[in-house]
Chain A
Amino acid sequence: MRGFVKRALAYFHQDSSKLIPFLFLLALVALPPLAMVWESLSVFVESLCPILVFGVLVSGLHLVTGTTGALHLGVAGFMALGAYTFAILASPVYPFQLSWAIALCGSAVVGALSGLLLGIPTLRLRGDYFAIVSLGFGEIVQDALRNMEPLTKGTIGINPLPGPQFLENGFGAPLGKVGWFYLLLAMVWVAVGLIVLIERSSLGRSWAALRDDELAARCMGISVNRSKVYAMVLGSALCGVAGGLWASYLGATGEPGNYDLQISVVVLCGLILGGIGNIWGSILGVFIMVGFNSLVLTRLTTLLTEAGIVSSGSVITSPMNWKYIIFGLSLVVLMRFRPDGLFPASIRRTGRLADKLSRDEAVS
């Protein structure tokens, strides 16, 4: 135990880019008890649940984009596959009717398999080509789900979907808000913990190497394609799990069009805002980004409507209609002034230092 604490302290030592998001995630554990004391906090318990699902999703994206540097614009597609797999396996409308946990494992497996199928041929491509292929994959998934009506119920989506039964059976009552909150928070912690462990393994070190310099990594004997495919498979599995959680939390898959590019871009914004390559920062980044989208903008819209400032006929006055500009501007401004994000990964910092040194050398 003492050894573990010591190693954990060493991990966070003098690294505020990991420590601040870590403390934030830790503080979330205390939110439901605090909400019992202060009633005004109880809104957050419910509205943070969807954001926690995005936390799982961003850890999937982190494995692809954050570790290998391949820009992935199709996480929504993997999320959709996970959601529909979960729905088909667990819904009472279909013959399988598996238990919640097994259906969620099914989501992970389908996510991983599709990640493997897409990853093997496409990860050899240059970074910007991979971005477009993954974007195209996300579009194909939406169209396919919409068109395969007998299996996916087309634009209606599959409902109803069960929540986790193991808690229902254990306590005799369906999972409440607080239960969902802790379940999803635990999933985020599990995802982050897994990633931290993998990143300390030889596989994780090969990812860091090939992100910094693919050619150099290849020269050091790292099988670049294989480690990229591993990252893609693991990341897609996490995206699949996020999809399954999402569908289960909502109780329905919803329309296939819900899993569109916007989700992928919001999650990517969060990842970049937090700092590419730093899983802790990415989680906090996605909380800021999605929280802004679903909490702040919605609340602002209701407030302004109540105040009579927003009329339903006009587009410009409604804050919800400004979200694309806000996402876009945040990406452009971040790339211009802080391309490493709010919490840059420590590897990145040495990388930039090395860049600077070599530039100075070239000058002299």
Chain B
Amino acid sequence: MISLLFQQVLTGLANGGIIALIALGYTMVYGVVELINFAHGDVFMLGAFLALTIVGLLGAPFVAEHPALCLSLLFVVVPLGCGSINLLIDRLAYQPLRSAPRLVVLVSAIGVSYILLNIGLFWGGVPMEVFNGGVSASAPKDFPSLISSAPLLSNSDLYISFRDLFVFCVTIPLLISLSLLVNRTRFGRSMRAVAQDPIAAQLCGIHSDTVIRWTFFLGGALAGFASVVYALYNNTIFFQMGYRVGLDAFTAAVLGGIGSLAGACIGGLAIGLIRALSDQCIATSWTNAVVFSVLILILLFRPSGILGRSFREKV
């Protein structure tokens, strides 16, 4: 029983690490422009499709021969691609609305999310071998397992594979370097300044627009990393996954306190754990409902999240 629980906790933490990476994108963008970037989950989905396309272009024999080279290529190209997509979205859909009411921008974000969803559907119809020749575009696609799932440790009911470890090997260094970037660098300082007060930051000589753009890029890049790890860990991708996983990540960001980076990490791990335990102890079919109930309960009793600060509206 204990080892079964441990197994679930491990799976939960691994998925939680992925959720945390996406949640960081939500929370960073919210920090600087106060927008729930509804399309962020779909950027994550496009990242997974980009990764599968790259694997398809390289060809199965090449991938089987040089898995390390292939992995490093994925970890460079996909985050760059996702960051650029996010940058483009900001330029086209959000930047013209900087001074508009918040709901206007939010509705625009919902629109972008739907456009990306449709692009994902079409992408699944690309006639490539990895997409099953593009026959049934909306069906889930198999992602080749580049990371071995051979057990590192296994007895009758505990099974820890290299793949579980791999997730932590990617997420933890990423989280540490992000925290260094935000807390120790000049760019991080200007980002925090813009988050506090964009106009005051501008008065201090910080180019707010550039900082906002880079924040979008950074958030998208994190979603790109997350999408590669997700695809390698779960071995299946589908075009609606941006919505599902994105909602989990958003819940995580709110749980941790939106705008707080450490909060997003804690929230991501917590949501991963809640999902795994709910799968185990309640039923898989209720898990989504459990996660949303958690979200509603948090917003009721602690609207600013675990680490968030509460604000009072000033006249």
User: Which A residues contact B (CB, under 8 angstroms)?
Assistant: 69, 71, 73, 121-122, 125-129, 131-133, 135-137, 139-140, 143-144, 146-147, 215, 261, 265, 268, 272, 313-316, 321-325, 327-332, 335-336, 339
Contacts and interface: CB of A to CB of B under 8 A. Distances in A.
B110 A331 contact: yes
Contacts of A331: 107-108, 110-111, 114
A140 B300 contact: no
Interface in B248-305: 250-251, 254, 283, 285-286, 288-289, 292-293, 295-296, 299-300, 303
Contact of B96 (A73, A125, A336): A336
B36 A143 contact: no
B267 to A, nearest CB: 14
Given A139-B292, A315-B137, A327 B36 contact: no
B112 interface: yes
A137 B292 contact: yes
Contact of B111 (A215, A322, A330): A330
B43 to A, nearest CB: 14
Q: Is the interface of A mostly helix, strand, loop or mixed?
A: helix
A165 B128 CA distance: 56
B118 interface: yes
Interface in B92-126: 92-93, 96-97, 100, 102-108, 110-119, 121-122, 124-125
B315 interface: yes
Contact of A335 (B36, B108, B119): B108
A132 B36 contact: yes
Nearest to A327: B114
A147 B254 CA distance: 27
Contacts of B106: 71, 127-128, 131
B157 interface: no
Q: Is the interface of B mostly helix, strand, loop or mixed?
A: helix
A325 B283 contact: no
B121 A324 contact: yes
Contacts of A328: 110-118
B111 A143 contact: no
B313 interface: yes
Interface in B175-216: none
Contacts of B303: 125-126, 129
Give the interface centre of B96, B102, B103, B119 by most chain A CB atoms within 10 Å. Answer: B103
Contacts of B285: 143, 146-147
B135 interface: yes
A322 B107 contact: no
Contact of B125 (A314, A325, A332, A335): A314
B276 to A, nearest CB: 18
B118 A322 contact: yes
Give the interface centre of A73, A127, A265, A324 by most chain B CB atoms within 10 Å. Answer: A324
A324 B250 contact: no
A187 to B, nearest CB: 27
A146 to B, nearest CB: 7
A282 to B, nearest CB: 14
A143 B286 contact: yes
Given A136-B247, A328-B115, 4 more contacts: A136-B292, A140-B289, A143-B288, A335-B100
Nearest to B285: A147
Closest 9 CB pairs of A and B: A331-B111, A328-B114, A328-B115, A136-B292, A315-B125, A324-B118, A315-B137, A332-B111, A325-B118
B299 A272 contact: no
Given A315-B137, A324-B118, A328-B113, A125 B299 contact: yes
26 contacts: A121-B296, A121-B300, A125-B299, A128-B35, A128-B36, A128-B103, A132-B254, A133-B296, A140-B288, A140-B289, A143-B288, A146-B285, A272-B107, A321-B121, A321-B137, A323-B118, A324-B118, A324-B121, A325-B119, A328-B113, A328-B118, A331-B110, A331-B111, A332-B93, A336-B93, A336-B108
B119 to A, nearest CB: 8
B121 A139 contact: no
B254 A129 contact: yes
A71 B106 CA distance: 9
Contact of B122 (A125, A136, A143, A315): A315
B235 to A, nearest CB: 23
Give the interface centre of B100, B122, B315 by most chain A CB atoms within 10 Å. Answer: B122
Nearest to B89: A332
B122 A69 contact: no
